Amino acid sequence: MRKVLLTGSSGRIGQAFFAAYQESYKFVLTDLREPEHPIVDPHRFVQSDLSDARVAADLCLGVDAIVHLAGVPNPDAEFADVLPANILATTYLMEAARKAQVGRFVYASSAQTIEGYPVDRQIVPGMAVAPANLYGVSKCYGEALCSLYATQHGMSCVSLRIGAFEPADGPPLETKRDLSAWLSYRDATHLIDRAIQAEIDGSFIAHGISNNRFKRLDLTETCRVLRYAPQDDAFSTFPIPSA
């Protein structure tokens, strides 16, 4: 059973992934906030602030893979917020992973890295990043860091450009853009699992949306490389808004 360090484990995606795969991996969970429910063997929880450079080294010891979900996810975040949570924390964790020889680093990037493109333009592999806010800029930095550590240090990294992660039974999505970028809970957890398991050398950027009828991000390469098989479609799940 692989040992996986899951950062941001008390967030929505972290909780969903742990709940879906706690029988498949041995987890070290970490977050600023304690979990809502007790964590029992073989898993354990460590409360930590990853923006402290001294923290990451101990968390990475003996770990086979890292799923780095921790960070500020707010598109309206100021630089003072994204600097420690998204930039420093990712840098310290990546360096600790390199020193600990962690086999796979899965980085939670965001569709905000390309949000500067018109909403009617589909994003395909190889297009330049186009963030529309500092949060998106911080995620571009993380993708670039994965590339640096892959090319210069031989690490295996997968960046997941996560779209609109919302429950299927939640409030309707407000725009067609949100529908085209939707990522269901079921598809999100499957995508993370495939990012851990797939045979990848170097750095790969995956598109994290469901099998929506209209797709903000093209899924062809993500499905081929990761063997990702999304099941859900926002346009069949939610009412279609007028905007």
Positions annotated as catalytic residues are 135
Radius of gyration of the chain (CA): 17
**The dihedral formed by the CA atoms of 157, 162, 167 and 171, expressed in degrees to the nearest 10:** 170
Count, residues in the chain: 243
Residues 188, 123, 216, 82, CA torsion sign = positive
Q: Are 180 and 214 in contact (CB under 8 A)?
A: yes
Q: Are 195 and 161 in contact (CB under 8 A)?
A: no
Instruction: Compute the distance between CA of residue 158 and CA of residue 105 in angstroms, rounded to an integer.
Output: 6
